[in-house]
Amino acid sequence: MEKEDILYTGASPTSLVGSRVAELLPGNTPSHAELDILNPDTFKEFNPKVLVHFAAATNVNACEMNTDNARQLNVVGTKNLVDYFGRRGVKIIYISTDYVFDGTAGPYDENAVPNPINVYGRTKLEGEEAVLSHCDNAAVVRIAFPYRLSGPKSDTLRWMITSIMEGKEIPVFDNLRANFTFIDDIARALKILIDQDFKGVIHVTGDEIYTVYEVAMTVVDILGENFAKYVRPKHFEVSDGVAPRPLNGGLVSRYRSSLGIKMTPLEENIRRIIESQR
Ligand SMILES: NC(=O)c1ccc[n+]([C@@H]2O[C@H](COP(=O)([O-])OP(=O)(O)OC[C@H]3O[C@@H](n4cnc5c(N)ncnc54)[C@H](OP(=O)(O)O)[C@@H]3O)[C@@H](O)[C@H]2O)c1
């Protein structure tokens, strides 16, 4: 696949996931203004073979407060892309989330029935449905808690590591279980999925399913017991301005290993991030 064959939405330099994926799997990365998913007039400039769709309203609490914006970006924007590019036979890869599940009985594989409990999850699921029901060759790639080793936009893992190393006490949820996922692994997985023309839903998440507190304590194990005082376990609770979360979540996959998709151990990357910040 040549660079010009892959088109990304939502891979601007300040984005968390798309910007790093596009470094490892080169493609066309138009800015928000050059390719606005809410303005189909901007689509005409592009003629890809594969569209990898990252652009979304991603702030879970903001989605809960501003349902219209979440629906516009996650549903209407996705439908616009499906109408234009899907109709032209472009393979669409939609990046989705573990938040399509309710977190009552995780971990979930690709056959589990989604039941989102917040606006973000509901609108992302509607985006999935728009893609899968209108494009025969589409793929939905569900990821969770993406992190990278460096980059302008922080993520939960780097926030925890930096805070603990700087001696700032942080509250971390001890009742929210999920997989942290290395974005470099997502990029390598996308290459495999494109090369093998994967169709349907696949979960691409780290192998370990831990509470956020357990991940923070892995950081402490590496740094030394004297850093434990900076980790304050906290129960996640819904309150004003805070959207419900799937607590007992986590994703597993029926297909990943047979496709040759491998994930880097979380502890190895925690060590690399710590080393890079010493
Ligand atoms: N981050 C997570 O924890 C997480 C977890 C699971 C799944 N995901 C999924 O992974 C994907 C990427 O997430 P992310 O965290 O990397 O997102 P992000 O950092 O919030 O970046 C979102 C991107 O979308 C662009 N965008 C916003 N509105 C647009 C529009 N109307 N037209 C075109 N582009 C637009 C933004 O560009 P500007 O900044 O220039 O506006 C930005 O490049 C999303 O689909 C998300 O649902 C994320």
Is 108 part of any domain?
Answer: yes
Is 232 part of any domain?
Answer: no
Is 229 part of any domain?
Answer: no
Length of the chain: 278
pLDDT at 144 over 90: yes
Residue 145 contacts residue 180 (beta carbons within 8 Å): yes
Q: Which residues of 157-192 are buried (b: 16+ CB within 10 A; e: fewer)?
A: bbebbebbbeeeebebbbebbbbbbbbbbbbbbbee
**Beta 139-143 vs 177-178: how paired, if at all?**
unpaired
The domain that holds 205 is classified in CATH as 3.40.50.720
Q: What is the pLDDT of residue 239?
A: 87
Is 220 part of any domain?
Answer: no
SS3 state at 174: coil
Of 252, 246, 146, which Cα lies nearest the Cα of 202?
252
Q: How much is the mean pLDDT over the chain?
A: 97
How many structural domains comprise the chain?
1
Please give the Cα distance from 250 to 239 (Å, whole number).
Answer: 23
Residue 46 CA to ligand 1 center (angstroms) comes to 20
- Ligand 1 pocket residue status of 17, Cβ below 6 Å: yes
Q: pTM value? A: 0.98
pLDDT at 268 over 90: yes
Please give the Cα distance from 123 to 184 (Å, whole number).
Answer: 26
The residue-averaged pLDDT of 143-162 equals 97
Look up the domain containing 149 and give its range: 3-210+237-277
pLDDT tens, residue by residue, 228-248: 999 999 999 988 889 999 999
Q: What is the pLDDT of residue 1?
A: 81
Please give the Cα distance from 216 to 274 (Å, whole number).
Answer: 12
Question: How much of the chain exceeds pLDDT 90, in percent?
Answer: 97
pLDDT at 180 over 90: yes
- Ligand 1 pocket residue status of 74, Cβ below 6 Å: no
Is 8 part of any domain?
Answer: yes
Task: Grade residue 23 by pLDDT with cuts at 50, 70 and 90.
Answer: very high
Measured at the alpha carbon of residue 205, what is the angle toward residues 103 and 59, in degrees to the nearest 5? 65
* Pocket mutation for ligand 1, best pick of 8, 17, 128, 141 (most atoms within 8 Å of C-beta): 17
Atom of ligand 1 nearest to the CA of 37: 32
Measured at the alpha carbon of residue 25, what is the angle toward residues 14 and 138, in degrees to the nearest 5? 95
Q: What is the pLDDT of residue 240?
A: 82
Q: What is the pLDDT of residue 266?
A: 98
Is 231 part of any domain?
Answer: no
Is 82 part of any domain?
Answer: yes
Is 147 part of any domain?
Answer: yes
pLDDT tens, residue by residue, 33-81: 999 999 999 999 999 999 999 999 999 999 999 999 999 999 999 999 9
Q: What is the pLDDT of residue 274?
A: 98
pLDDT tens, residue by residue, 73-117: 999 999 999 999 999 999 999 999 999 999 999 999 999 999 999
- Ligand 1 pocket residue status of 157, Cβ below 6 Å: no
Partners of 171 in beta bridges: 232
Atom of ligand 1 nearest to the CA of 55: 24
Partners of 142 in beta bridges: 96, 203
- Ligand 1 pocket residue status of 52, Cβ below 6 Å: no
